[in-house]
């Protein structure tokens, strides 16, 4: 039986959810010839070595390589091209094609929790994950402002008033991820209300300091776990439906 390899590339990713998730899936489906490896890369240039494995047929991509992986691929899906970030790679007939399933996972999460009054939003961060969020907000006609460290709107000049005016807030930075669970963005939490929906894309820990402080100020909070599951299922579908 031919060996089939999947894996995850990123940096400092020993905490990753993906390995356990997919190894459990292999067990449930009795796929004894499947493996899932963690490729912790210092530099995106090292991905060429990963691609050299003839048994590899798919990868997940995480921080900080969702944008940097693109020049190493042969093709992009329409969505990945529009978003400008890739979190899933399919290798078929020696063609490496990039997809973005973060968008799918976030859209599922958003539609599950969004209310009619969530008509304007703030995106905290501007990395690869934030690009997928922008794409989905645009798709659903929800205007957004992006808060970054060095942008016109940044974590130093973000006011309570701006927070109050934007009832949907999506936290896309890695700040507060395990093991640095006490870290938290500078943020005017006092601007939050019971009408706010906070989606923090982090899933480890389950409740970040950012989520805890948001909840203390009355906001409804959602972590990144459901999004993560949904994007993983979409990746599995891409690897196994498009592979055929």
List average pLDDT for each run of 10 residues in the chain, which is 244 residues long. 93 85 96 96 95 96 95 97 97 96 97 96 95 97 96 96 98 94 97 98 95 98 96 96 62
Give the pLDDT confidence score for residue 243 in this predicted structure: 56
Collapsed DSSP state (helix, strand, coil) of residue 112: helix
Alpha helices in the chain (DSSP H): 18-28, 47-51, 78-83, 102-113, 128-139, 160-165, 209-216, 225-241
CATH class of the 4-100 domain in this structure: alpha beta
Cβ neighbours of 226 (radius 10 Å): 17
User: Under a CB-based contact definition with an 8 Å cutoff, are residues 41 and 9 in contact?
Assistant: yes
Distance set, CA 226 to CA 17, 190, 240 (Å)? 12, 27, 21
Q: How many helices (H) and strands (E) does the chain have?
A: 8, 11
Give the pLDDT confidence score for residue 230 in this predicted structure: 97
What architecture (CATH level 2) is domain 103-226? 3-Layer(aba) Sandwich (3.40)
Give the pLDDT confidence score for residue 242 in this predicted structure: 65
Give Cα 72 distance to the centre of its chain.
Answer: 20
Distance set, CA 106 to CA 22, 225, 231, 232 (Å)? 20, 10, 8, 12
Q: Which of 4, 5, 19, 66 is catalytic?
A: 66
- CATH 3.40.50.720 in the chain is located at 103-226
CA–CA distance, 210 with 53 (Å, rounded to integer): 40
66 in catalytic set: yes
- CATH 3.40.50.10860 in the chain is located at 4-100
């Amino acid at each position: 039986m031919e060996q089939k390899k999947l894996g995850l590339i990123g940096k400092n990713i020993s905490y990753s959810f993906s390995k356990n998730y997919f190894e459990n899936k292999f067990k449930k489906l009795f796929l004894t010839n499947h493996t899932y490896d963690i490729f912790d890369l210092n530099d995106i240039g090292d991905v060429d070595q990963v691609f050299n494995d003839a048994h590899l047929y798919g990868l997940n991509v995480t921080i900080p390589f969702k944008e940097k992986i693109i020049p190493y691929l042969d093709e992009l899906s329409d969505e990945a091209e529009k978003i400008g970030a890739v979190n899933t790679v399919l290798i078929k007939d020696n063609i490496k094609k990039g997809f973005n399933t973060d968008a799918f996972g976030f859209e599922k999460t958003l539609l599950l929790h969004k209310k009619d009054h969530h008509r304007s939003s703030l995106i905290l961060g501007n990395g690869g994950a934030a690009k997928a969020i922008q794409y989905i907000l645009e798709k659903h006609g929800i205007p957004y402002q992006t808060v970054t460290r060095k942008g016109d709107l940044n974590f130093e000049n973000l006011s309570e008033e701006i927070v109050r005016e934007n009832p949907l807030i999506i936290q896309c930075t890695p700040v507060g991820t395990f093991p640095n669970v006490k870290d938290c963005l500078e943020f005017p939490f006092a601007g939050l209300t019971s009408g706010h929906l906070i989606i923090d894309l982090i899933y480890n820990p389950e409740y970040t300091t950012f989520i805890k402080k948001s909840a203390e100020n009355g906001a409804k909070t959602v972590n990144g776990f459901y999004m993560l599951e949904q994007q993983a299922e979409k990746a599995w579908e891409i690897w196994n439906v498009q592979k055929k």
